Amino acid sequence: MNPDDTVAFWRVWNTPRRGLGLTARAAVEARMSRDGSDPLAALRSAAPELAGPARAGAAAFLEVIGELSADRETPVDRLLGRLLERTRYLDHLDREEDGAERRANVEELGVAAASFAQSGSGRLADFLTEAALVADVDQMSDEGDRVLLLTAHNAKGLEFEVVVVAGLEEGLLPHATALDDHDQLEEERRLFYVALTRAKDQVLLTAAAFRRRFDGAWGAPVSRFVGEIPAPQLEREIPPTARTGGGSNAWRRAGRGPDASSVGARAGRASGRGEETGGAGLTTSALRRAVGREVYHESFGRGVVVAAEEDGAEIKFTVRFGTRMRKVLGRFLSGESHAD
């Protein structure tokens, strides 16, 4: 369907094996770079100069692609059957270690194609469009008061009133494997955009100051993607764990630039509309999210926030210190560790 899809081309050009190795790939990439052509055109150009087995493999591949491309208006279930027959892909899977599971996936794809051919236009282009936009969660009922947990991949095509994006740390989003690869980094950025645009009203962005792993607790900066959100659409919060200097309130709206200490942010719609804020500059939802966080007071020691409320221009917290409950202004609390 798309001769310019370089990623798809490299996935299939030597699967099943056709003798197209690294030397053939280098020849194709050289022509793509020199001529600015799509990979199929580059392979046609390079094929006459390839060694015997590679030249034969290239010819066979181009022949199959040509036949299937010419018949792409054929109902998708018949087209898929022809593809499997011409490429002997199922025979290839039978020789693979995990072939049984992968063969079952292909067979399930065939069922989906047959169902689509019976209920829709049956065209390959429409089938691919539906596959790209529809996920299993589309079939779920909207009834019931619950939180739906899903990945950004599965969120495509959906919308929710409020979306929470968790784990916005360098190494998670973007993933560590993508940090040194421009194309992978762009794909991670696209996924982040997908997550943001699933929300009708409000997006809550969260990151952990420290994350427990099998090899200990590790901290990471907040994702670079957060800093790319236009400033008018982003409200930042600094938690008690990020103590501010000069005795100022540790719970306040943060500055507009990227800040590795900011572990909570709220992104509104493009209009910049958000919740009403009190004199201290925190939203009602921000006050609610303070509950449950650990804090430290120089006289009372360590405690846990059980409530938060506006007190003029400041925030007053109700904190449980051991068995005692105290109301304390935010400027007297921090989340830093202190030696006994």
Per-residue pLDDT, 89: 92
Q: Tell me, what CATH number does 36's domain have?
A: 1.10.486.10
CA 209 – CA 110 distance, rounded (Å):
46
Q: Kindly state whether residue 128 falls inside one of the protein's structural domains.
A: yes
CA 313 – CA 320 distance, rounded (Å):
23
* Three-class secondary structure of residue 266 per DSSP: strand
Number of domains into which the chain is organized: 1
Angle between helices 52-70 and 76-87 (to 10 degrees): 170
* pLDDT digit string, tens, across residues 308-323: 887 766 788 888 888 7
Q: Kindly state whether residue 38 falls inside one of the protein's structural domains.
A: yes
Q: Kindly state whether residue 152 falls inside one of the protein's structural domains.
A: no
**Pairing label, strands 199-206, 160-165:** parallel
Per-residue pLDDT, 238: 60
Q: Kindly state whether residue 169 falls inside one of the protein's structural domains.
A: no
CA 320 – CA 299 distance, rounded (Å):
13
Q: Kindly state whether residue 227 falls inside one of the protein's structural domains.
A: no
Predicted TM-score (pTM) of this structure: 0.42
* Cβ atoms of 264 and 206 closer than 8 Å: yes
Per-residue pLDDT, 150: 85
Backbone torsions φ then ψ of 256, nearest 5 degrees: -90, -20
Per-residue pLDDT, 45: 92
Beta strands in the chain (DSSP E): 160-165, 199-206, 211-213, 216-218, 234-237, 264-267, 294-297, 301-311, 314-321, 324-329
Q: DSSP letter at 277?
A: B
State which residues of the chain have pLDDT below 50.
214-215, 240-265, 268-282, 336-340
Nearest-CA neighbor of 283 among 236, 243, 329?
236
Q: Kindly state whether residue 271 falls inside one of the protein's structural domains.
A: no
3-state secondary structure 294-334: EEEECCCEEEEEEEEEEECCEEEEEEEECCEEEEEEHHHCE
Q: Kindly state whether residue 244 falls inside one of the protein's structural domains.
A: no
CA 320 – CA 327 distance, rounded (Å):
9
- Which residue type, as a one-letter code, is found at position 72? R
Q: What is the CA 181 to chain-centroid distance, rounded?
A: 16
Residue 56 is part of which domain span? 6-132
Q: Kindly state whether residue 211 falls inside one of the protein's structural domains.
A: no
